[in-house]
A and B are shown apart, each in its own frame.
Chain A
Amino acid sequence: MALDQSFVGRTYPPSRPYEVAREKIREFAEAIGDDNPAYTDAEAAKALGHPDVIAPPTFVFTVTFQEAANVIRDPKLGLDYDRVVHGDQRFAYHRPVRAGDRLSVTSTIEGIKSLAGNEILDIRGEVSDAAGEPVVTVFTKLVARAAEAAEGE
């Protein structure tokens, strides 16, 4: 079933702020095995010109993907969530995410396409801080596979 094209351009209300914790950054950095001191040592981060420890570049996806999941679970959109795989991912950074940030995500459906039975959904997440300043723009392409088994991600 083709998705409702009228959802293109729809923007969802900003998410509840996510507070970036120093220990959460450490946990994520350790999970990816990255020992860059900018993620765990405030002095090392300051030496690079950051006010506090910063998060690895893909950390912010852990914040935005919850929002993207809410969008694709919108029952009116009619997407079969069980068939969804991650197609593309892109980040455009205004500045690195850092400890103490209170991040809010505003998600917009940028595109809906049908291709060979697959439904392709482009979601843009604008991530801003407590002052409303932009931090990173997160572009996520999700693919709901045609009925047969999925491959990818």
Chain B
Amino acid sequence: MTAKIAYADVEVGTELPSRTFPVDRARLVRYAGASGDFNPIHWNERFAKDVGLPDVIAHGMFTMAEAARVVTDWTGDPGALVEYGARFTKPVVVPDDDAGAAIEVTAKVAKKLDDEARTVRVDLTVTSAGAKVLGMSRAVVRLA
């Protein structure tokens, strides 16, 4: 594993480059195919509304996959990830229009965990349309 960020160079509070990830219906269909999760709440508006959702929503795991990119782009090596987790607090609602939705991700180093293993905890803030869509979103990464 070869992270491009050195443990010695980060401090608690170091911010990772933030990102905004667009998501539209086509993206969800594509993710459904690649992941094998064909739950109709992720592509069928009629079904989604029937079960009480405002509209089609993104797969929670799609949102988690996008949020992880802020961490893996920072470290360079995705293999530097030691732990990654989140709680699905609110759905990312994806309307059937030209714009779709946006997943906004910011992240910062919350703790330096182990000087020997050079691991840090990164806390992520993940929102869409102003609402927090992932809670307790954290990653542990091993730095150089």
Q: Cβ of A95 and Cβ of B79 under 8 Å apart? A: yes
Q: Does B68 contact A (CB under 8 A)?
A: yes
Given A32-B62, A32-B69, A95-B79: A153 and B51 interface contact (C-beta under 8 Å): no
Residue of B nearest to A148 (CB): B52
Residues of A contacting B21 in the complex (Cβ-Cβ under 8 angstroms) = 33
Residues of B in contact with A (beta carbons under 8 Å apart): 1-2, 21, 27, 30-31, 33-37, 41, 51-53, 57, 59-62, 64-66, 68-69, 72-73, 76-79, 81-91, 136
* Top 10 A-B pairs, shortest CB-CB distance: A149-B52, A90-B85, A31-B34, A153-B60, A96-B79, A32-B65, A58-B65, A48-B77, A28-B34, A88-B87
Excluding A34-B65, A49-B2, A86-B88, 11 further A-B contacts by CB distance (< 8 Å) are A54-B79, A57-B78, A86-B60, A89-B85, A92-B83, A93-B81, A93-B83, A149-B52, A150-B53, A151-B52, A153-B59
Q: How far is the CA of A123 from the CA of B27 in the complex (A)?
A: 28
Contact of A57 among B34, B84, B91 (CB under 8 A): B84
Contact of A27 among B34, B41, B65, B79 (CB under 8 A): B34
Given A27-B34, A58-B64, A153-B60: A34 and B81 interface contact (C-beta under 8 Å): no
Q: Does A41 contact B (CB under 8 A)?
A: no
**Number of chain A residues whose Cβ lies closer than 8 Å to a Cβ of chain B:** 40
Q: Cβ of A90 and Cβ of B52 under 8 Å apart? A: no
Q: How far is the CA of A56 from the CA of B119 in the complex (A)?
A: 19
Given A95-B79, A152-B91: A139 and B85 interface contact (C-beta under 8 Å): yes
Q: Cβ of A48 and Cβ of B52 under 8 Å apart? A: no
Residues of A in contact with B (beta carbons under 8 Å apart): 27-28, 30-34, 36, 38-39, 47-50, 54, 56-58, 61-62, 65-66, 85-93, 95-96, 139, 148-153
Residues of A contacting B72 in the complex (Cβ-Cβ under 8 angstroms) = 34, 36, 56-57
Contact of A153 among B27, B57, B78, B79 (CB under 8 A): B57
Q: Cβ of B78 and Cβ of A36 under 8 Å apart? A: yes
Question: Could you tell me the distance in whole angstroms from the C-beta of B29 to the nearest C-beta in chain A?
Answer: 9
